[in-house]
Amino acid sequence: MNTAPLIVDLDGTLIHTDMLHESALRVSRDRPLDVLRIPLWLLQGKAVLKSRLASRSSFDASLLPYNESLLDWLKEERAAGRRIVLCTASDRTIADAVASHLGVFDDVLASDGDVNLAGDHKADALERHYGHGNFDYVGNSSADLKVWRRARRAIVVNGARGLARKAAELCSVEREFPPQKRGFTAWRKVLRVHQWMKNLLLFVPLLAAHRVTDIDGWLTLVLAFVSFSLCASTVYIANDLLDLESDRAHPRKRLRPFASGAVPAWQGVLLAPVLLAVSLALGAMVGGTFLPWLLFYFVLTCVYSWGLKRVILLDCITLAMLYTLRITAGAAALSMPLSFWLLAFSVFLFLSLAFVKRYAELQTQALSGKQKVHGRGYYTSDEPLVLNLGVTAGYASAVVLALYLNSDVVLELYARPEAVWGTVPVLIFWISWIWMQAHRGHMHDDPVVFAVKDRASRLAGLAFGAALVIGALGWPW
């Protein structure tokens, strides 16, 4: 039996994240004014900073992204009679919560507000407790080389290239746990590239005005599309960073890069402002009044991420506004006036889709046996009401479309106005179909993504477009 105690690091080792970064993110979300105090706390030392942040934020230890393969091995070692100790530079309150949840540790050593238990401080503490060369240490970074120098054996977890070799020069390497694979897929998910299709709404004003042959307009909107997409990615990153616990409580969102720890949170913090700067630079090149609308979109999405997403009903209304803002921004890029009919139609349609999104979340949480949606203002018992509100909003968009088709504008734009009436039953079918699928539990978290992948939705879109083309070109029946 291996009698040497096994000392385990927390950040980046036992969990695929860093609790200092997560504590700072939670404070910036829940107590934004305290962010101004962070430099003052840091001047007093890292231990003070960690203590202050930990005392001002709470977390659920059961939701952390644990290194399951390492955790399974630790349980095996403990079952074999080995003493397991959690030793971390994170604050004591965080370490105790993790240890209490896992139940595999015999002791806990952590930063206490006076000493930051990292590097030499950690090595000194372990040598005092167990003696030089009398313990095995589980770590993940070059900072742990100072500890491995005084350890008997090293267990390298999530190590960068060459770390195990450096550790082997100091002590015997007992085992390696390879890092998570990231690659292009993880970064594609960070940027939410699949969500960029929503920004195709920028092209709606050009198409609605029948300016299909306007090459300059297309080029302007392509530039606006890239600018808007990078801005949206900035917001998606910020939203994911501020919503880590809610995502981890969700059966599918827990696999997102930041929630799962596949991409470190600090990389998102650095990437977001770079994307925003590029987005604004491109937005300034678009011209017209596009940039103010882009800035308004960014501010509204930030307000949504910081608070409105947790306010019942206002969250869905805000989502509908964000969709409609894309159409408004497209018209602004071309210096085109916006039709009242188009705005009214889009508000009701996207309000319906926003309720679909919430309804799908309520279904998922209800199946998990929860009464309240984490990070939202809804109870699972609200499910029938959300369905009714969403269906009503969807049918209201069909009514707006029907009223528009009876206006004088249609007579001016379409050679065969009667053909365009075919869009109304198509829209009614699609709204009904989307809600039928949502009711059956088939809905993706995002209805737009679902619609792109759904065959019936694609056929409905083709039929809707065909009715518009026939009406515009005046093709014979």
Tell me the pLDDT band of 475, cut-offs 50, 70 and 90.
low
Tell me the pLDDT band of 363, cut-offs 50, 70 and 90.
confident
pLDDT of the residue at 106:
94
| Average pLDDT score over residue span 409-432 | 87
Spell out a b/e string for 403-421, using b for 16 or more CB atoms within 10 Å of the CB, else e. Answer: ebbeeeebeeebebbebbb
pLDDT exceeds cutoff 60 at 314 = yes
pLDDT exceeds cutoff 70 at 52 = yes
pLDDT exceeds cutoff 60 at 477 = no
Burial (0-12, 13-18, 19+ Cβ within 10 Å), 441: exposed
- In sequence order, the 6+-apart residues with CB closer than 8 A to the CB of 252 are 364, 445
pLDDT digits (tens, 9 = 90+) for 85-123: 999 999 999 999 999 999 999 999 999 999 999 999 999
Q: Whole-angstrom Cα distance, residue 474 to residue 461?
A: 20
Mean pLDDT in the chain? 91
Beta strand residue intervals within 272-429, DSSP E = none
Q: Whole-angstrom Cα distance, residue 458 to residue 452?
A: 6
Which residue, 289, 253, 282, is CA-closest to 365?
Answer: 253
pLDDT of the residue at 374:
63
% the chain with pLDDT above 70: 98
- Decide: helix, strand or coil at residue 171: coil
What token pair was written down for 364? Answer: 């998922």
pLDDT digits (tens, 9 = 90+) for 368-410: 777 777 667 788 888 999 999 999 999 999 999 999 888 877 7
The residue assigned the tokens 């949606």 is 373
pLDDT exceeds cutoff 60 at 476 = no
Q: What's CA 267's distance to the chain center, in Å? A: 14
Which residue, 323, 172, 187, 318, is CA-closest to 263?
Answer: 187
Phi-psi region of 2 (alpha: psi -120 to 50; beta: other; left: phi over 0): beta
pLDDT of the residue at 57:
87
Contact 329, 295 (CB under 8 A): no
10 Å Cβ neighbour count for 151? 27
Burial (0-12, 13-18, 19+ Cβ within 10 Å), 476: exposed
Helix (H) or strand (E) holding 233: helix 215-242
Tell me the pLDDT band of 341, cut-offs 50, 70 and 90.
confident
pLDDT exceeds cutoff 90 at 413 = no
pLDDT exceeds cutoff 70 at 229 = yes
| Average pLDDT score over residue span 438-451 | 84
Does this model's pTM top 0.75? My answer is yes
Q: Whole-angstrom Cα distance, residue 329 to residue 338?
A: 10
- Decide: helix, strand or coil at residue 91: strand
| Average pLDDT score over residue span 115-134 | 94
pLDDT exceeds cutoff 90 at 72 = yes
The residue assigned the tokens 């590029």 is 278
